[in-house]
Amino acid sequence: MSDTTAVAPIDQVEALAAEAAQKSETITVREESFELAPQIPAIVMLRLTAAGDSKTAPARQMGAILDFLNHAVAVDDRERFMDFLEEADPIIDFDELNKILESATEVIAARPTEQS
């Protein structure tokens, strides 16, 4: 008896990817909600991943994180998000910023990718 795995037809996978891309996903920080960007450039994700290498200079790591956070939030919420990160009271420290980064990364990384 052979072991087979059921695979969804490609048109069904494409439909699910299109549906996921249209969903408005948000992250909530404290009591503020921010809409995430529907798509993020692949190069931004690659830079963030590469920055995780312990050999990467700290300045380059922080630049990749800042670039990711800037791209991760929808254009309409981006300025409000960045202002919030800078002006929140009490301040957002590195531990909380890391949790925000992890939350946004989890949502974005869980999205299905579109095939070209």
Domains annotated for the chain, with CATH where assigned, are: 10-110 (3.30.2220)
DSSP letters, 25-91, are -EEEETTEEEEBPS---HHHHHHHHHHTSTTS-HHHHHHHHHHHHHHHB-HHHHHHHHHHHHH-SS-
Q: Which long-range contacts (C-beta less than 8 Å, at least 24 apart) are formed by 106-109?
A: 107/25, 107/27, 107/36, 108/36, 108/40, 108/45, 108/72, 109/45
Q: Given this model, what pLDDT does residue 61 score?
A: 86
Q: Given this model, what pLDDT does residue 115 score?
A: 47
Supply the pTM of this predicted model: 0.68
pLDDT (tens place) for every residue of the chain, 116 residues total: 555 555 656 666 565 555 555 567 888 899 899 999 988 898 998 888 888 877 778 888 888 999 999 999 999 999 999 999 999 999 999 999 999 999 898 888 776 655 44
Encoded tokens for 57:
């200079």
